[in-house]
A and B are shown apart, each in its own frame.
Chain A
């Protein structure tokens, strides 16, 4: 069985669309039972979204300064 450290690494890979089908399956099964890893998954997606938003804001702000 994979532990939470392994699973969170796979979650991270999955976010970058680089995990295999069996890895995604392992993640799906694990997060059904593990709320901490489920939170990590949701929150990592949120962080990606925040990072993109941060860049957009940076572009907007610097445009306004011109």
Chain B
């Protein structure tokens, strides 16, 4: 009887709703469409087969991501490549305080604050901008990058990111705040304040 209820809850349609999030999660880790697709497929199949193990305590998506992580780990074990995303450590409170000093005075005022950006929408259409964007994203400390990506790229909500990373809600806010401060500054220095007189001619 329990099994029937579980299976009902995990109908193909219900599982399929989570496919886009799972796929983005897998793609960001594996950086390969086909491998990501396989991992998601295996995950949904495994979830389907193990439907009776799903007790509904965790959210379905957390449960699915748990399975997906195993599939991705299996992939890394099979391949020679090293795991590129180490597991998260708790944020070091002292280190975090130092981090904020980079942006604010002890009174909490900006050191050198955000200046206005010239036509950011236009940047989205330029190939060169995306190279800079990726560099800035990759330059975030690993745990900060993971939190930012789970939230903004994979599309998990705050609670899910906390469960995934073991961060408290307060630490999550602080981490996202810093990630935005860092990304913003990096984009300002490398793109928006960087004179690009020959940008128009780069396509030649």
Interface residues of A (CB under 8 A from B): 3-6, 8-9, 12-13, 15-16, 18, 35-37, 39-40, 42-44, 46-55, 57-59, 62-63, 65-66
Does B153 contact A51, Cβ atoms closer than 8 Å?
Answer: yes
- A40 to B107: give the CA distance in the assembly, Å: 18
Q: From B114, which residue of chain A is reached at the shortest CB distance? A: A39
- Report which of A16, A37, A53, A54 forms a contact with B176, defined as CB distance below 8 A: A16
Known: A8-B181, A18-B158. A59 touches B27 (CB 8 A): yes
Number of A-B contacts defined by CB within 8 Å: 104
Does residue B187 face the partner (Cβ distance < 8 Å to A)? Answer: yes
Give the contact-size bracket for chain B. Answer: 35 or more
Does B108 contact A50, Cβ atoms closer than 8 Å?
Answer: no
Residues of A within 8 A of B70 (CB): none
Does A53 contact B124, Cβ atoms closer than 8 Å?
Answer: yes
Contact with A along B98-129 (1 / 0, CB 8 A): 00100110011110011111001000100000
Residues of A within 8 A of B176 (CB): 12, 16
Residues of B within 8 A of A57 (CB): 130
Does B133 contact A36, Cβ atoms closer than 8 Å?
Answer: no
Does A12 contact B153, Cβ atoms closer than 8 Å?
Answer: no
Does A47 contact B115, Cβ atoms closer than 8 Å?
Answer: no
- A50 to B104: give the CA distance in the assembly, Å: 25
Known: A43-B117, A62-B33. A54 touches B174 (CB 8 A): no
